Amino acid sequence: MIDLQGRVAIVTGAGGGLGRSHARLLAQRGARVVVNDLGEGAETVAREIVDAGGQAWAAQGSVADAGRMQAIVDDTLNAWGRVDILVNNAGILRDKTFAKMSLDDFKLVVDVHLMGAVNCTKAVWDAMREQNYGRIVMTTSSSGLYGNFGQSNYSAAKLALVGLMQTLALEGARYDIRVNCIAPTAATQMMEGILPAEQLAMLRPELVSPAVLALVSDAAPTRAIVCAGAGGFEIANITLSEGIYIADEPRSAETLLARWAELTDRRGETVPDQGWAQYRRELEKAGFVAPETAPA
């Protein structure tokens, strides 16, 4: 049984949908929860938690406002002395094809999803380092991992969060800060009108939240991309193929295309432990002995 007694969690975008489900589950497991959202939904969810016997308070504000997010974290530290868990859940949609999308709508989505997560994570980072403990969840999406028609802004922001997770997990490891991604499929306000009602009924947010609970527990992994929805769970990986080395043939684009099937053969592919793995592999193919880790 995962017990979050003594832990303090901040959940963004928690006034409804996925965030509400995450916040309520963390509170049920004993965490004190800061419920963040833009509107009155934050107050409603905090009250639901308190009425159920938990501890929570509402903190209104946009994740795109770095100053406001820092103030919320400061208030949390003053009230409860620590921040153990951050679930970056807040998000918006501005769907259009790239040809029809304004740059303002592109930037807005990036500001909320990517910079919103950056703002919140930056606000808790020093406190987590000082206490030698932290669990951070980024909300990515299959749209970012694999693309989705009409969501170039959303896809770009969501995949950027995976890159942020990869590096923060490396930088936080010595402080027991574990950083992971959740890629949810759930019936939220953002999904209304996209799927038929009978399918939406199968995609209840509370079927995603167990994955979030696992990712914020003491036994959480780090650098995992967990996909979850309708009771199904999967792991997404960014892999590196074994690839090829062009030695005797011309090192040209034509050679590369001629050997494309060999290049893209997925047998023997790996999940690199860090970006240096690409440098190491390519140097070793060329006959050099490369260090196991990147130069400091």
Just list the catalytic residues.
154
* Three-state DSSP class for residue 160: helix
CA-to-CA dists, residue 114 to 19, 92, 203, 237, angstroms: 17, 11, 24, 20
CA 144 to chain CA centroid, Å, is 11
CA 97 to chain CA centroid, Å, is 24
Output DSSP code: residue 209: H
Q: How many CA atoms lie within 13 A of 177 on its CB side?
A: 28
Q: How far apart are CA 171 and CA 177, in angstroms?
A: 8
Q: How far apart are CA 109 and CA 117, in angstroms?
A: 12
First to last CA, the chain: 40
- Helix (H) or strand (E) run with residue 27 in it: helix 17-28
CA-to-CA dists, residue 289 to 235, 244, 296, angstroms: 33, 17, 17
Q: How far apart are CA 222 and CA 134, in angstroms?
A: 11
Q: How far apart are CA 147 and CA 73, in angstroms?
A: 33
* Amino acid letter, residue 151: Q
- Angle at which helix 103-110 crosses helix 152-172, to 10 degrees, equals 30
Please provide residue 4's backbone torsions phi and psi, each rounded to the nearest 5 degrees.
Answer: -105, 20
CA-to-CA dists, residue 52 to 47, 57, 217, angstroms: 8, 13, 22
